[in-house]
Amino acid sequence: MKDLFMCLPRFFIDTHVHGRDMLEDYKTTIYQTMKEALLAGIRVLAYMPNTKPAMVTINVLDRVLDIINDAREMLKISEMQYVYFGVTDNNLDQCEFALQREEVIGLKIYPQRENGGGVTTGSIGVVSMRTVLAAMKLARKYDKVVSVHCSCPDMFFREKKDTIGGELSYLIRIVMVAKKVPGVKILICHVSNTLSAKYIIRAHEKFGINIAMELMPHYLWFDSEGTNWNPCVGREFYHCFNSLRNSLNREFLVSLLKTDYSFIFCASDTAVHIEEEKMAGFGGIPSNQELPAVVVTLAQMHGISDERVADLLAFNQADFLGIPMDRGLVKYRLIEKADDCHYNVGKIINPWNGTRLYFPVRVN
């Protein structure tokens, strides 16, 4: 078989990582997620704030940054790592302090119901759209980004079990607020369906909103119909937030990889949970080691250029988020194999195992 090669960035960027530590270090740690990312050529990560305790105070932020710096030192990573600071309805003063930190790449919005329930656990989440507006103004002031988990908490969508409608509904609210804050940078996390993706494109082109979208490997490769699932792994291990959609939605998201939109980039949303938690309904798929492999494999399948893959895995997110990175490309050999990646030293069931992918390995 002829060897396959691609010219790609010197390293990749993952803008959506869940590192646990503190009260959840039994799942994984920041050190472990960095170590696993390095195996895939990812050297810059941005960590989410739904930790336990949540990263919504400066005290917790300092604890997390200390953990990150210790991990960087142990792994000899010279590149800066980043975090998102979580927004609540009563911590805007803390948000402003956090945004002045170089390591804080932006703010993160999780929708929350008035009774306290939301899309994530812990003391994090936003009820009022006035808070969202204030957070956007703060982010614009410091030239940072507002990253949003779009999942409407309204009872209407919950009763109908219309999770796509809920995702789109909250996205529309976010765009309407963003129109009041010209120039603010908005990043929509883990876009999972056609309607949301098309609305983001419309918001960018028609409304002039500076909005970007993350495409995750699990939405590009798996779907609710079981496409590419490992038959030996239970469906609980493919449960994530937002949910996997049907094949038509997956195929549309894959088609976006072929476009030249600079506001689209790929991130892992790697989320590690132990078996007991997954069986109890926890959402999340470990995926940082598969991120480059899935994008590269889809590029081989659909004739996507090296330059576009470089944008999707590094340059677009670097430009949008202001991450320093040179534009040089290096040669990678593509190693085709059945996925045998491990998470948390093999303690985590990885639903990717057995998937045949092209894993890019640097030649020089």
Per-residue pLDDT tens digits for 221-244: 999 999 999 999 999 999 999 999
Q: Which residue has the tokens 């990312």?
A: 37
Q: What is the pTM of this model?
A: 0.96
pLDDT of residue 122: 58
* Pairing outcome for strands 356-362 and 329-338: antiparallel
Give the full edge-to-edge strand order of the sheet including 329-338: 4-9, 329-338, 356-362
Provide the 8-state DSSP code for 314. I
Q: What is the pLDDT of residues 41-78, one digit of tens each?
A: 999 999 999 999 999 999 999 999 999 999 999 999 99
% of the chain surpassing 70 pLDDT: 95
Domains and CATH numbers, the chain: 4-362 (3.20.20.140)
**Position 32 pLDDT exceeds 60:** yes
Q: What is the CA radius of gyration of the chain?
A: 19
**Position 156 pLDDT exceeds 90:** no
Q: How far apart are CA 37 and CA 292, in angstroms?
A: 10
Retrieve residue 260's tokens: 């030249």
Is residue 53 within 8 A of residue 86, CB to CB? The reply is no
- Give the CA angle between residues 178, 265, 285 to the nearest 5°: 100
**Position 267 pLDDT exceeds 90:** yes
**Reported confidence tier of residue 342, pLDDT bands at 50, 70, 90:** very high
Provide the 8-state DSSP code for 115. T
92-99 and 129-141 helices cross at what angle (nearest 10)?
20
